């Protein structure tokens, strides 16, 4: 049995789309060519890989098995290329990262800009995902690396601490809570909140904690960025819960006042997730080292 690596790549594109048309677009091939490759794979394996209908495609049980193996095979090939690229004095590799909103918008852009400038042979696919999807993505191989805030207890994952994430309440000057040093989430629920969109990690966390207390989050406006939250708060539209790293950025509403949340869940460890840290290629280790270094510098800690 012989597998063509390009056919496995096409199969993964279709499985992740999940659509022949979108998979073909990702693979830079025609839908007809992609369909022929999938059919050839099915004939070679003697089993159906996709259920097809008008809405797209869905993996069969055999397709699910092949997807796991295909990801492992292509990851090992990428690792092999990366290891031998050192002899050409240039790191080469591709990494897919799943991360939460704060990391995608505030933490990684500068770090990745430095890394990619130093190593032009490295390419990155960065996607914003919810915590549960980050964990599942690293476990099933759809992501090479995950960056997450909050506790992670999942067999099959290596968890690497890199910084602490504190959540604060941001209010405009003169707000009834502005003179407080600390405040609980429950005390903020008498005021309208400005929050991120539904589905964001921070919104889901705050909503879950509110519901656990038997209350409902009084959301007045939902927006798609931290910048928009800050502008709304500054204008007096409401209050908002934000990561400390956001409130210290000079471009974010300098007129905001922040108050520490005294709820235990408001202080969370940020972690890097990988499936097996001992087997990652050199270029990924360099990325992980940079994330750890940036995290410790942000907290004023001198790395060992």
CATH number at residue 33: 1.10.10.10
Please report whether residue 78 resides in a domain: no
Please report whether residue 74 resides in a domain: no
250 in the same domain as 185: yes
64 in the same domain as 31: yes
Please report whether residue 57 resides in a domain: yes
CATH number at residue 225: 3.40.190.10
Please report whether residue 291 resides in a domain: yes
Q: How far apart are CA 137 and CA 171, in angstroms?
A: 36
Q: Tokens in use for 269?
A: 């460890």
Number of domains the chain contains: 3
155 in the same domain as 17: no
Task: State how beta strands 122-128 and 193-196 pair.
Answer: unpaired
53 in the same domain as 128: no
Strands of the chain, DSSP E: 50-53, 56-59, 93-99, 122-128, 145-149, 158-171, 182-183, 193-196, 219-223, 240-243, 257-261, 267-274
The DSSP symbol for 288 reads: H
Q: How far apart are CA 26 and CA 210, in angstroms?
A: 41
Tens place of pLDDT per residue across the chain (304 aa): 677 888 888 898 899 888 888 888 888 888 888 898 898 888 888 899 999 887 888 999 999 989 988 888 887 777 777 666 655 556 778 899 999 888 888 788 889 999 899 888 888 999 988 888 999 999 988 899 999 988 888 888 999 999 888 999 999 989 999 999 999 999 999 999 999 988 788 898 899 999 998 999 999 999 988 889 999 999 999 999 999 888 877 766 678 899 999 999 999 889 999 988 888 888 889 999 999 988 776 654 444 3
156 in the same domain as 291: yes
| Domain span including residue 197 | 165-267
């Amino acid at each position: 049995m012989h597998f063509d690596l390009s056919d496995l790549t096409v199969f993964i594109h279709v499985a992740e789309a999940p659509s022949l048309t979108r998979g073909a677009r990702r693979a830079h091939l025609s839908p007809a060519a992609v369909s022929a490759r999938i059919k050839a794979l099915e004939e070679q394996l003697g089993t159906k890989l996709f259920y097809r209908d008008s809405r797209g495609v869905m993996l069969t049980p055999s397709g699910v098995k092949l997807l796991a193996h295909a990801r492992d095979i292509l990851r090992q090939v990428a690792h092999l290329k990366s290891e031998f690229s050192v002899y050409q004095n240039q790191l080469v590799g591709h990494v897919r990262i799943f991360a939460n909103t704060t990391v995608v918008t505030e933490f990684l852009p500068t770090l990745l800009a430095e890394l990619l400038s130093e190593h032009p042979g490295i390419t990155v696919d960065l996607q914003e995902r919810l915590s549960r999807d980050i964990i599942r993505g690293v476990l099933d191989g759809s992501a090479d690396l995950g960056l997450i805030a909050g506790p992670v207890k999942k067999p099959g994952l290596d968890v690497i601490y890199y910084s602490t994430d504190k959540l604060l309440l941001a209010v405009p000057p003169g707000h009834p809570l502005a003179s407080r040093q600390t405040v609980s989430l429950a005390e903020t629920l008498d005021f309208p909140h400005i929050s991120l969109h539904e589905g964001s990690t921070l919104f889901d966390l705050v909503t879950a904690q509110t519901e656990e207390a038997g209350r409902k989050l009084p959301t007045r406006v939902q927006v798609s960025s931290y910048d928009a939250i800050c502008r709304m708060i500054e204008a007096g539209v409401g209050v908002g819960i934000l990561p400390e790293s956001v409130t210290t950025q000079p471009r974010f509403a300098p007129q905001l006042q922040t108050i520490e949340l005294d709820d235990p869940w408001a202080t969370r460890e940020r972690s890097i997730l990988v499936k097996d840290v001992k087997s990652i290629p050199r270029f990924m280790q360099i990325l992980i080292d940079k994330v750890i270094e940036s995290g410790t510098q942000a907290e004023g800690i001198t790395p060992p």
